Amino acid sequence: MGIQSSDGGASASSAPGGEDQSGPQLALQAVYLKDCSYEAPNGPRVDGAWNPQINLDLHTSVNPLGADLKEIVLTVTVSAKQSDVTLFLVEVKQAGAFLMRNMSDDETRRAVGSVCPNVLFPYARAAVSQLIAQGGFPQFLLPPVNFDALYARSLAEQQQPAATKN
């Protein structure tokens, strides 16, 4: 299962029913910033050396937009504290509209939990970095996130309680 970009161009095989649509299809239709917020209670003033404790939270949600179209929203929340003082709090909701057709439940869960967040994260990462820089703080880049590993761990955690109940 791969990601296809939909360029909207017409071709001889793009007519309805003109192409093989029996296999699983996952196609990005749009990427957009759905919501963002930035708070810096004291502005970019920091007492002492710049050595904040950074906390990163990620959340993915899905909203149906149509029969085969789903909105995936990746919420990235970053907070920075130094000596129990909040320096900044940033939340970005990066969204994408994805066409998901002929996919099994497992393929859909994997797409929502791993593939789509991998597509959306670079956009969210750039938005977070820009908001923090505009707030007057030093350049900040979120580290890469392995959504495949997070999804695998989530599956393992879901199966573990089921195994202990038996």
Domain map of the chain by residue range?
3-7+22-160
Q: What is the pLDDT of residue 146?
A: 96
Fold held by 3-7+22-160:
Bacterial Protein-export protein SecB (3.10.420)
Rounded CA-CA distance 26/117 in Å is 13
CB 91 within 8 A of CB 36: yes
| pTM (two decimals) | 0.83
CA 123 – CA 29 distance, rounded (Å): 15
The pLDDT tens digits for 122-144 are 999 999 999 999 999 998 999 99
The string of pLDDT tens digits covering residues 57-85 is: 999 999 999 999 999 999 999 999 998 89
